[in-house]
Amino acid sequence: MALRKIVTLPNPVLKRKAHPVNRFDRDLQTLVDDMVETMREAPGVGLAAPQIGLAERVIVVEYYEREEDEENEDARKKVWAVINPEIVKASEETLLGVEGCLSIPGLLGEVERHAEVHVRGLNRHGKPMKIKARGWLARIFQHEIDHLNGILFPDRAVRVWQQKQEVEQEQEF
């Protein structure tokens, strides 16, 4: 595994629609492993391939599987690697939350997202998978899938501001 460089604005790959993945070879396995390591080192809770300069439809997410686990200090986070993810169902209920992004350092924004989403895609070995996500986990998946479509959180934000250096950082995706 190796750390990859996280690209930042104005790198054009961040505003480009990513290409579907149709190869499930050793290179893809290395990419997924590198993305997980890079996300953790950053640190972040999600990472999309465009954030490391690759216009491919690959995301990794590491967070609690259930909303109630966020408050349980013994709960373990789960890692998802999703290839060609798509949101196939979204709740009507939305929630406003603060987001940051590893590719837009120093900027935060309030973004309205669906409270629950159903994501379909392929796992790292090409097998179909479905994920039902709620709360922050749903927010992370929406944020990362937006990256694959060239959409950044300020594009959806109702308010954006510069982060103060001395304030602890919000969750970054």
38-49 confidence digits (pLDDT tens): 999 999 999 999
Structure tokens at 45: 């809770």
Task: Please report which residue ranges of 12-152 form alpha helices under DSSP H.
Answer: 26-41, 135-148
Among residues 72, 63, 60, 64, the alpha carbon closest in space to that of 35 is found at 60
Structure tokens at 155: 């594009």
Separation of alpha carbons 69 and 82, rounded Å: 22
Radius of gyration over alpha carbons of the chain, in Å?
A: 15
112 labelled catalytic: no
Per the CB < 8 A criterion, the answer to whether 60 and 79 are in contact is yes
State the catalytic residue, choosing from 144, 166, 168, 172: 144
**Mean of the per-residue pLDDT values of the chain:** 94
The answer, yes or no, to whether the previous bond of 154 is cis (omega within 30 of 0) is no
- Residue 166's pLDDT band, with cuts at 50, 70 and 90, is very low
Per the CB < 8 A criterion, the answer to whether 39 and 46 are in contact is yes
Structure tokens at 146: 């937006």
- Which residue matches tokens 């465009």? 50
Separation of alpha carbons 77 and 95, rounded Å: 22
The CATH architecture that domain 12-162 belongs to is Alpha-Beta Complex (3.90)
The answer, yes or no, to whether the previous bond of 43 is cis (omega within 30 of 0) is yes
* CA neighbours closer than 13 Å in the CB half-sphere of residue 163: 20
pLDDT at residue 167 in the model: 47
Separation of alpha carbons 114 and 5, rounded Å: 30
Mean pLDDT of 103-128: 98
pLDDT in tens, 47-98: 999 999 999 999 999 999 887 888 888 889 999 999 999 999 999 999 999 9
